[in-house]
Amino acid sequence: MQDDAKRPYHHGDLRRAIIETAMDMLHEDKGWQFTLREVARRAGVSHAAPYKHFPDKATLLAEMALLGFDRLREALTAAKPRRPSPLREEFFAMARAYVRFGISNPSLYRLMFGTDAGKAVDVHLNDRARAAFGVVIELVERGQAEGVLRKRDVRGQAAACWAQVHGIALLTMDGLLPPERFGPNAVDNALTALLEGLAN
CATH number of residue 65's parent domain: 1.10.357.10
| Mean pLDDT computed over 186-192 | 96
Residue 193 counted as domain residue? yes
CATH number of residue 26's parent domain: 1.10.10
Q: Per residue in 11-23, pLDDT tens?
A: 468 999 999 999 9
124 and 168 inside one domain = yes
Which pTM does this prediction carry? 0.90
Residue 2 pLDDT > 90, yes or no? no
28 and 85 inside one domain = no
Q: Virtual CA dihedral for 77, 83, 87, 90, nearest 10 degrees? A: -40
19 and 88 inside one domain = no
Q: How many domains does the chain have?
A: 2
Which residues span the domain enclosing 141? 56-198
110 and 136 inside one domain = yes
